Each structure stands twice: as C-alpha cells, then as structure tokens.
Structure 1
C-alpha cells in the first residue's frame, strides 16, 4: 500500500513516465518512532531536484504531511518519496504532461539490518553527498 497525491493506492499506472522513462526523482528518509529524521532537508532536496527537472509541484506542504502520515505507524524504518511527471502520451517528450505524481512508501527496516555498523569510513564529506540529486533513471544531477 502506498499513497499517490494523498490517496491510498494498490497500483501505479503502467503509463507513468517514472516507470516508462525514469522521469522523476526520489528521496529516502529514516523513520524512528514514527517520525522522519531531517524531513525539511528531504523536502528541500526534492524541491531542488524538481526544479532542475522542470517538474512544477506547488503543494510541498501536502507532500510533507503525506510523508509524515506514512511514517506514523513505523517504529524503525524508512519512508521513500518519489516524484514522477505522471502519465503522458507516447514518446520521450514531456510536452503536454500536466499531472505530477507524488508517491510515498513506508517500510520497516528488516531485523537483520538493525545491528548497526562497528566501523565505517567515507571518502567524501556529507555535504558533498547531500548535493547529489537522486534521479529515477540512475543518474545524479
């Protein structure tokens, strides 16, 4: 079960440009005790990605509320927000597509991954990682 534009759904249209062409972006946020960590930062990153991809979403407050609602019953897990350009005609051009889909999915973290990490190292700073925009087609912008 997931939410599309604030409504619960069981399926996504196969004509969605996110499925057809990877036309969209996403963020995955950690949930602890029903609350999303760093939610304003995740929304800001989605706003930047949508702007770069020329995907106009005007109701960011609704998406933030939808993500928070999806996280409410999750003690430890993640919420993933996906923006796609929606369904459109045939071909690669997004011209004429006016529907933007915002999907929110929530999932528990499997017990096997809850053990944590004893030691880790990173070769880049967290600031650099934050600037990477995650696109659905696997490219970073």
Structure 2
C-alpha cells in the first residue's frame, strides 16, 4: 500500500453506505392488475343516445357548435361530427350585409384580414371567403396590391 492509502477508513465508509441503503430500500409492491378504468377515446362509445339527443336539441335551438362543445366538454369538430351522424344539416353562419360592409371598409383602410376578423369577432378565413364572394380584389399576403 502506498502512503496515501487509507483502506480501513474506506472499508468503514462502504459498510455504513451499505447499511443505509439497506434501510432505505423498501420491498417492491407486487404487480397487480390495473384498477382504473381505461379512458374511452372513440366518440360513439363516449356519448350515449341521450347525450346525442341533447346536443341535437341545443343545436336546433340555435346554439353554436362551439358553445355546445364547451357545454359538453367536446371540440367543435366533434360536435359537428355528432350532428352530421344524427342527420342534422350543419349551418355555417355567413356574414350579414352590415358586417360585410364594415369588413370591406376596414380592409380598404389597410387592416389585415386577421385584424378585420378580430374587430368583427370572426375568423380571418371567414372574412377572406366573404370578401372574395363579394367580388373584392384582395391584397397578397405581403400587403402588395
């Protein structure tokens, strides 16, 4: 052994470590079957006929698909799917004439489609489609004429 070797001290530290590890370890629990019920992802399996009937009734009463989705903790897309499978014709609310005039005015004043949509409470794609349907020539995406 060299002069810097301190084997008895190292052996004592190793024994102390082994004892502390033995005290801290707990026996592992045996593997058992899962007690929780797996989450069902398929929409048809999650929603009963009563829920589908309530969704259809809400929609026919005039509620939007987004509002129904938040009411039943579903996405808008899921609500539309349920409605179509139930044979309900899905409505797409078009812009009114006054909204179209306001959108045209804002767009001609230099607002982007996104800004116009935010001001009118509509999606920018709805603004785009409505202005195109009205025959308006739109700027390109970089603001050039």
Q: TM-score range by the shorter chain?
A: under 0.3
Between the two structures, name the one with larger relative contact order (CA 8 Å, sep ≥ 6): 1
Taking structure 2 as the reference length, the TM-score comes to 0.18
Select the structure of larger CA radius of gyration. Answer: 2
**Greater strand percent: which structure?**
1
